[in-house]
């Protein structure tokens, strides 16, 4: 792989069954444009409805009652900030080493990573990863097997494996802005950087994590060709090198900021956080330090730890630069090859979160409730869609159910069953926590009282 291709600003759209290049907006704005192509990408994500919905989606604590805990929106903004710092640092190091293509600046690297970070969670369903599990479980339930009988293997895998990463790509490439005509039409560089798992469910790894539904596969083949991503199998590519920076920014933020949230809601003490971050920070126990609130002390330590981690990850990226370009990077991720201090701190933070935060009683109850909540919605929609596509007739309840979907993307008899099910997953996965809970309550009949 090479950087001139990897930083392609070309955009694509669907036209008459093919994926074709489209006009580059910054070219239209002229040579003195105030926005680069990557800044245009950023603006398109920020102003999308999918991005706004993240404000009511779970990060760690569903329906959090504390004003300072993170939701998916604040998490995404913070990951984007760290990603920009990582990208800028790597860009400066690439420029110093003569690796940056002519016409690109270090801030271009920062901007690409920033946009990918901003968009990386757009496809997360209500209730976070528990919501993913709930949607998968419904379609994998043997009692519902009859709804999938006519689907092909890849289509069945897609429907049974709701994946937030794949739905993020689907939102960008198909659903937002130019619906079914290229979506947001972001640059190829941004799309490539977004993909942590550039393969489909037919790949041996695809039943766990993947980034490409069959619906976006033609689009992704064109983007991969434009970027020069190395083919590693049928519809499987080596990752874009900058995707490793996006992944590192996400890991740094959720490891460290989950601890900050836990202090905010009283699950951890600030002394425990100080102990976790000790390897990456230095503070003197002065009277001024002790006079600060727990929130202030945690914020200061978190900032110091993130700064140290950014330095380490950027250096690790440059150290393994050639392996990344050859698609031969052997590490699980960049953090796995960072200094022991960074590795130990982030792993201890994650372990503390697993044992003290993720399994807390208040969180467990809401996660358990996510299964019947999303199940009620699918119980309503799937039978109605199946009847429409396979039988062409509906009972009264099924007709009413299809009216619900008309506000999103109406289902017609011209749709295949797979296309119709993907529209259901678009609708259900796109709901906020609040909207899903309200709809489940209403369709159950309890909301009538």
d(CA 80, CA 431): 23
d(CA 218, CA 169): 13
286: helix, coil or strand? coil
- Whole-number average pLDDT of the chain: 87
Domain residue limits, the chain: 3-237, 247-356, 361-448
pLDDT at 396 over 50: yes
186: helix, coil or strand? coil
Burial pattern 347-363, b for ≥16 Cβ within 10 A else e, equals: ebbbebbeeebeeeeeb
pTM of the prediction? 0.90
pLDDT cut 70: percent of the chain above it: 86
| CATH code assigned to 3-237 | 1.10.3210.10
**Which tens digit of pLDDT belongs to each residue from 319-368?**
999 999 999 998 899 999 999 999 988 888 888 777 766 666 666 777 88
Confidence at residue 355, expressed as pLDDT on a 0 to 100 scale: 73
Number of Cβ within a 10 Å radius of residue 369: 16
Confidence at residue 29, expressed as pLDDT on a 0 to 100 scale: 57
d(CA 217, CA 212): 6
14: helix, coil or strand? strand
17: helix, coil or strand? coil
Token readout for 159 is 């429907």
Same fold, 3-237 and 247-356: no
Beta 18-22 vs 231-233: how paired, if at all? unpaired
**Which tens digit of pLDDT belongs to each residue from 49-75?**
999 999 887 655 454 554 556 688 888
Q: What are phi and psi of 19, to 5 degrees?
A: -105, 115
Number of Cβ within a 10 Å radius of residue 344: 14
Confidence at residue 244, expressed as pLDDT on a 0 to 100 scale: 97
pLDDT at 4 over 70: yes
Q: Please count the residues of the chain.
A: 449
Q: Taking the alpha carbons of 73, 79, 82, 87 in that order, is the dihedral positive or negative?
A: negative
In Å, how far are 58, 95, 161, 368, 384 from 371, measured between CA atoms? 15, 50, 15, 6, 20
Burial class (CB in 10 A: 0-12, 13-18, 19+), 59: buried
Higher per-residue pLDDT: 272 or 144: 144
pLDDT at 316 over 60: yes
Indicate the pLDDT class of residue 369, thresholds 50, 70 and 90: confident
Confidence at residue 55, expressed as pLDDT on a 0 to 100 scale: 86
Indicate the pLDDT class of residue 235, thresholds 50, 70 and 90: very high
pLDDT at 164 over 50: yes
Indicate the pLDDT class of residue 267, thresholds 50, 70 and 90: low
pLDDT cut 90: percent of the chain above it: 59
Q: Which CATH class is domain 247-356?
A: mainly alpha
**Which tens digit of pLDDT belongs to each residue from 206-231?**
677 999 999 999 999 999 999 999 99
């Amino acid at each position: 792989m090479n950087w001139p291709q990897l930083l392609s600003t070309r955009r694509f759209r669907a036209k008459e069954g093919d994926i074709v290049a489209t006009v580059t907006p910054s070219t239209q704005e002229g040579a003195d444009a105030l926005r680069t192509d990557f800044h245009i990408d950023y603006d398109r994500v920020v102003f999308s409805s999918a991005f706004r919905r993240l404000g009511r989606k779970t990060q760690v604590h569903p329906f959090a009652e504390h004003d300072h805990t993170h939701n998916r929106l604040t998490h995404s903004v913070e990951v984007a900030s760290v990603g920009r710092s990582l990208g800028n640092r790597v860009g400066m190091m690439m420029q110093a080493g003569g690796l940056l293509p002519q016409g690109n600046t270090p801030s271009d690297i920062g901007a690409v990573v920033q946009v990918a970070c901003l968009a990386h969670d757009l496809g997360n369903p209500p209730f976070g990863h528990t919501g993913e599990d709930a949607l998968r479980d419904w379609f994998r339930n043997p009692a519902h097997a009859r709804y999938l009988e006519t689907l092909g293997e890849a289509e069945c895998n897609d429907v049974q494996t709701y994946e937030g990463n794949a739905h993020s790509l689907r939102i960008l490439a198909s659903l937002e802005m130019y619906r079914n005509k290229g979506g947001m039409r972001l640059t190829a560089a941004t799309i490539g950087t977004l993909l942590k798992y550039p393969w489909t469910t037919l790949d041996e790894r695809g039943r766990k994590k993947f980034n490409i539904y069959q619906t976006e596969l033609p689009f992704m083949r064109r983007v991969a060709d434009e970027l020069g991503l190395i083919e590693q199998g049928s519809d499987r590519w080596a990752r874009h090198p900058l995707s490793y920076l996006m992944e590192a920014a996400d890991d740094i933020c959720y490891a460290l900021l989950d601890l900050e949230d836990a202090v905010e809601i009283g699950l951890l003490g600030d002394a425990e956080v100080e102990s976790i971050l000790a390897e990456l920070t230095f503070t003197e126990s002065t009277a001024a330090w002790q006079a600060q609130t727990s929130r202030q002390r945690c914020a200061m330590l978190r900032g110091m730890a993130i700064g140290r981690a950014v330095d380490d990850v950027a250096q690790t990226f440059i150290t393994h630069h050639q392996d990344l370009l050859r698609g031969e990077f052997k590490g699980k991720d960049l953090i796995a090859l960072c200094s022991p201090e960074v590795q130990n701190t982030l792993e201890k933070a994650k372990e503390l979160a697993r044992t003290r935060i993720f399994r807390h009683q208040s969180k467990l109850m809401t996660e358990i409730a996510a299964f019947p909540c999303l199940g009620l919605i699918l119980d309503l929609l799937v039978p109605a869609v199946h009847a429409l596509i396979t039988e062409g007739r509906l009972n009264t309840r099924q007709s009413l159910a299809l009216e619900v979907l008309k506000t999103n993307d109406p289902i017609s008899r011209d749709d295949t069953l797979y296309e119709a099910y993907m529209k259901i997953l678009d609708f259900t996965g796109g709901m906020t926590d609040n909207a899903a809970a309200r709809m489940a309550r209403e369709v159950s009949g309890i909301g009538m009282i």
